[in-house]
Amino acid sequence: MIVRILGEGQYDLDDHALDALNGLDNQIEAAIESGDEEMFRTALSGLLASVRASGTHHDMDSLDESDLILPPPDATIDEVRQLLGDDGLIPG
């Protein structure tokens, strides 16, 4: 499975390694819904750290699409909301 951290690049992860990340992903989503920036920060950095730790860099010159895409490490809740808002941060 390929996971992209925005601003960092793509990582290859085992599917089972990804299961462990589900909890953090749910926390991030809850934090975004409640606007809890601190919880968001902690959960996001935890999630990204796990991806980096259990993944390996995907070939830089491959044209493979990622299965999952994660926000950049220094993203704020507002930025992630914009990311999810479709016509927000991601330039077409």
Partner 1 sequence: MSLMKRISLIFRSKANRALDKAEDPRETLDYSYQRQLELLSKVRRGVADVATSRKRVELQVNQLEQQSTKLQGQAEKAIGVGREDLAREALTRKSGLTSQIESLKEQRATLQGEEEKLVLAQQRLQAKVEAFRTRKETIKATYTAAEAQTRIGEAMSGIGEEMGDVGLAIQRAEDKTAQMQARGQAIDELIASGALDDASQVNAGDDISRELDAMSSGSDVESELARLKAGNAPQAIEAGDGDILADTDTDSDEVAVRRETSEGGPA
Q: Please give the residue ranges that form the binding site for partner 1 (CB under 8 A).
A: 3-4, 6-9, 18, 21-22, 25-26, 28-29, 32, 60-72, 80, 83-84, 86, 89-92
Question: Which residues, 6 or more positions from 46, have their beta carbon under 8 angstroms from its beta carbon?
Answer: 24
Task: Classify strands 56-57 and 9-12 as parallel, antiparallel or unpaired.
Answer: antiparallel
Alpha-carbon gap, residue 75 to 48, rounded angstroms? 12
Minimum CB distance to partner 1 smaller for 38 or for 87: 87
Shortest distance, CB of residue 16 to partner 1, whole angstroms? 14
Q: How far is the CB of 87 from partner 1 (least distance, A)?
A: 9
